[in-house]
Chains A and B, each alone.
Chain A
Amino acid sequence: MVIELKDVEHLAGLARIEVSDTEKELLRHDLEGILEYVSQIKKVEGEQEEQVEQVELRNVMREDSEPHKAGIFTEDILKQAPRRDGNRISVKKIM
């Protein structure tokens, strides 16, 4: 399993994480080592292989009912936002 610096850069971009140049090489080295270790799951065979099957996962939904009183959490939650504009969270222009 070979991981190159450009792979690390691509992953960091996907994950929206700025990574310094010195750390890129460290991450490359670590990811390569960890991926090599976990690749042993590809070698499951024999009797175990027969047991392999996909399980179906299902969502458990809660009834959308009994709403709390409007506004009781607003101030607590907005207080945590780095930037706000009145009762809204403020972000930079996207378009």
Chain B
Amino acid sequence: MDIKNLKIKQAHDLLINKKMSVLELAEAVLKVAEETGDLNAYLEIFDDVRTQAEVAQKMIDSGNATMLTGIPLAMKDNILIKGKIASASSRMLENYVATYDAFVTKKLRDAGAIFIGRTNMDEFAMGGSTENSVFGATKNPHSKNRVPGGSSGGSASALASGSALGALGTDTGGSIRQPASFCGVVGLKPTYGSVSRSGLIAMASSLDQAGPFAKTVEDAEIIFNCIKGNDPMDSTSYPENLSNKIFSKPKIIGVPTEFVHAKGVDPRVLKNFEESIESMKKAGYEIKEISLPALSLGLSVYYILMPAEVSSNLARLDGVRYGYHSDGANLLEDYMKSRGEGFGREVRRRILLGTYVLSSGYYDAYYSRACEVREVLKKDLEKAFEGVDIIATPTTPTPAFKIGEKSGDPLQMYLADIFTVPVNIAGLPAISIPSGFVEEDGSKLPLGIQFIAPHFGETGLFETGKAFEKARGFTIIS
């Protein structure tokens, strides 16, 4: 069986028609995980996969199967699974055992999906390379001296190497789409509020959103349809009637040419993007030039709002109720040492930055101002969607970079998110789809295209994405 190319729908048919058992499928995936262990994609392979497989097999045998019953999935290590460690790749939570299921976990569990293991990530989802993990860097399966992207790099790398049929990640500024692009898989960041954040280890609550990695747009759609839905445990979760808004089939794609040609964008990325747009034109889509000057402010807004929310959210990690504890002379020293030793360098940097922009005397100039510019950006995008159905950009300004290449320069690392960040700021849905390769040092490095839709426009993303896969004219998973 060619497990690496197996899609969810195909696996489902094999399971339903009894051509394969759930256990056989799970074992095939586990074998790949073992063979590709050097990628460091998984932090832990769960020891109860066989038990999970039995439960799923019973669902199939009794005729209660869903599309995801028996499908092996990888879970990012900041998504709670009751009874399993959820470390967020941090020393702070290295031994933290989740006391409840995240909403998305419960949804997948109820559907009969199999959790293969938990995947490596940048600590507390802060980073774009999966190098900021206390458990070491994850490698890109397309070129092992390169990063898989981040922060959900373990999920992307696991899926691309065939050690899962799908995966979950979280996306605060591009953490699903950027690694999807670097690893040659599909990644969806859903509309803010369409997938519950209950049970995700919080980073920046007004930006965080969980979503799927998949081999194809259709597979991403299957996982998204399972994990979406209203949840009273998340106060920003949207009511179902709002998220079921009907859109007409997308016909017009807007391209913010000026923004796409930003400084630092690799010419090969631009060439590939133009070819992708050309293929969509041939597929019958109208291409329209749009001007979105506010997009260029996205990264600045992001690096104010995100650290501000990080510094507030991570205040809960105090070495008292759970997590890493280091003993000092008094309670204050306990805090200082536990947090100083428990958090890695990038996390400490962002907490201090967030503390700065929220502190008295700077709040108005930074945080308050960023909130205002966030509204400008949102309105600009809203206006753009009056004239187009979908907005397209490259997903990333460059293909996957080398391990260690940017780790000394935080600003350079942040610039890798330039195309993905504005989407989170506006709370829009966006999908990254493999669009081709560039050859470098004897490796074929994947590139991705990003399609952005209006709020709750996921259906339009899937339609456009499938049309693109068809127009692209080659298969990515080989």
Q: Which residues in A have some Cβ–Cβ distance to B below 8 Å?
A: 7-8, 11-12, 14-19, 23, 27, 30-31, 33-35, 37-42, 44, 48, 51-55, 59-62, 73, 76-77, 79-83, 89, 91-94
Within 8 A of A (CB), among B297-347: 297, 299-301, 303-304, 311, 315, 318-323, 325, 330-332, 334-337, 339-341, 343, 345
B100's closest neighbor in chain A, by CB? Answer: A73
Asked if B356 is at the interface (CB within 8 A of a chain A CB), the reply is yes
Q: Give the bracket for the number of chain B residues in contact with chain A.
A: 35 or more
Contact of B376 among A31, A51, A81 (CB under 8 A): A51
How many pairs of A and B residues are in contact by the CB < 8 Å rule?
138
Cross-chain contact A51 with B375 (CB below 8 angstroms): yes
Check B352 for interface membership: any CB of A closer than 8 A: yes
Query: B339 to A35, Cβ gap below 8 A?
Result: no
Q: Are A53 and B375 in contact (CB under 8 A)?
A: yes
Bound-complex Cα distance A89 to B321 (A)? 7
**Interfacial chain A residues near B99, Cβ < 8 Å:** 73, 76-77, 80
From residue A73, how far is it (CB to closest CB) to chain B in Å?
6
Closest beta carbon of chain A to B85's beta carbon, Å: 11
Contact residues in A for B359 (Cβ distance below 8 Å): 11, 14
B interface secondary structure, majority? helix
Q: List 21 A-B contacts (CB under 8 A).
A: A16-B336, A18-B337, A23-B348, A31-B352, A33-B411, A34-B303, A34-B411, A34-B414, A35-B353, A35-B356, A37-B299, A40-B300, A48-B376, A51-B376, A53-B375, A62-B232, A62-B233, A76-B97, A76-B99, A80-B321, A93-B330
The answer to whether B235 touches A62, judged by C-beta atoms less than 8 angstroms apart, is: yes
**Chain B residues within CB distance 8 Å of chain A:** 96-97, 99-100, 232-233, 235-236, 293-294, 297, 299-301, 303-304, 311, 315, 318-323, 325, 330-332, 334-337, 339-341, 343, 345, 348-349, 351-353, 355-356, 359, 365-366, 369-373, 375-376, 379, 410-411, 414
Q: Which residue of A lies closest to B369 (CB)?
A: A41
User: Lowest 10 A-B CB distances belong to which pairs?
Assistant: A18-B340, A82-B325, A80-B322, A60-B235, A18-B336, A38-B300, A16-B335, A76-B99, A92-B331, A52-B372
